[in-house]
Chain A
Amino acid sequence: MRSVLHRLAIVLAVVWSLVPIGWMIATSLKSNREITQDGTLLPATATFENYRSLFTYRAFGSYLTNSLVVTVLSVGVSLVVGTLGAYAIARFRLVWGVERRVAVFLLLARILPPVVIVVPAFLIVEQAGLLDTWWSLVLLYSAFNVSFVVWMMESFFREIPVDLEEAAMVDGDSRLTAFRRIVLPLAAPGLVASAIFAVIVTYNEFLFALVLTTTPRAQTMPVGAATLIGRIDIDWGAMSAAGVIGAAPIVLFALLVQRHLVRGLTLGAVK
Chain B
Amino acid sequence: MTASTRNGVTRLRRQGEGLDRALPYLLLAPALLLVLAVVVYPLYDGFRTSTQFWRFGRALEDVGLDNYRQAWNDPQFRSSLWVTLRFVFFSVACETVLGLGLALLCARELRFIRWARTALIVPMVITPVVVGIVFRLLYASDTGLLSTVSQSLGGGQVQVLSDPSRAFVGLVALDVWEWTPLMFLILLAGIQSLPVEPFEAARVDGAGAWRTFLDHTLPMLRPVLIVAIVLRTIDAFTTFDQVYVLTHGGPGTSTELISIYGFDTFFKFQQFGYAAAMLLMVALVVMAVSFLAARLIRRQATA
Contact = CB atoms under 8 A, between A and B. Distances in A.
Partners in one complex: yes
Interface of A: 3, 6-7, 9-11, 13-14, 16-21, 23-24, 27, 35-36, 39-41, 81-82, 84-85, 87-89, 91-94, 98-99, 102, 105-106, 109, 111-113, 115-124, 139-140, 142-144, 146-147, 150, 161-163, 165-166, 169, 175-176, 200, 203-204, 206-207, 211, 221-223, 225-226, 229, 231, 234, 236, 239-240, 242-243, 246-247, 250-251, 254-255, 258, 261-262, 265-266, 269-270
A136 to B, nearest CB: 10
A147 B28 CA distance: 12
Q: Looking at chain B's contact residues, is the secondary structure mostly helix, strand, loop, or mixed?
A: helix
5 contacts: A6-B106, A20-B134, A120-B49, A162-B5, A169-B12
A39 B151 contact: yes
B133 A225 contact: yes
A236 B128 contact: no
B24 interface: yes
Nearest to B271: A119
B113 interface: yes
A204 to B, nearest CB: 5
A192 to B, nearest CB: 16
A35 to B, nearest CB: 5
B164 interface: no
B43 A35 contact: no
B71 interface: no
A116 B43 contact: yes
Contacts of B283: 112-113, 115-116
A206 B137 contact: no
- SS of A interface (majority): helix
Contacts of A91: 9, 12, 24
Most buried by B among A92, A119, A251: A119
Most chain B CB within 10 A, of A39, A106, A113, A255, is at A113
B125 A251 contact: yes
B128 A162 contact: no
Interface stretch (B33-41, B75-83, B195-203, B210-218): B33-41
A111 B134 contact: no
B25 interface: yes
A24 B125 CA distance: 16
A17 B119 contact: yes
Given A120-B49, A203-B127, 10 more contacts: A3-B109, A7-B109, A36-B142, A85-B32, A163-B4, A166-B8, A222-B129, A226-B244, A265-B185, A270-B227
B267 interface: yes
Which of B30, B151, B231 has most A Cβ within 10 Å? B30
B266 A119 contact: yes
Given A120-B46, A162-B12, A269-B231, A84 B31 contact: yes
A13 B262 contact: no
Nearest to B273: A119
A89 B28 contact: yes
Contacts of B73: none
Given A13-B120, A112-B283, A115-B283, A225 B231 contact: no
Contact of A143 (B38, B142, B280, B282): B38
A92 B121 contact: no
Interface of B: 4-5, 8-13, 15, 20, 23-25, 27-28, 30-32, 34-35, 37-43, 45-46, 49, 101-102, 105-106, 108-109, 112-113, 116-130, 132-138, 140, 142-143, 145, 148-149, 151-152, 177, 181-182, 184-186, 189, 227, 231, 234, 237-238, 240-241, 244-245, 248, 259, 262-263, 266-267, 272, 275-276, 279-280, 282-283, 286-287, 290
Contacts, number: 293
B177 A17 contact: yes
B229 to A, nearest CB: 12
Given A23-B138, A116-B283, A121-B42, A85 B127 contact: no
Nearest to A126: B57
Contacts of A258: 118
Contacts of A102: 28, 31-32
A143 B39 contact: yes
A240 B127 contact: no
B107 to A, nearest CB: 9
A39 B40 CA distance: 53
Nearest to B144: A23
Given A91-B9, A99-B28, A269-B186, A113 B282 contact: yes
A254 B45 CA distance: 37
Nearest to B145: A23
Contacts of B185: 262, 265-266
Given A10-B105, A16-B177, A88-B24, A109 B130 contact: no
B123 A17 contact: yes
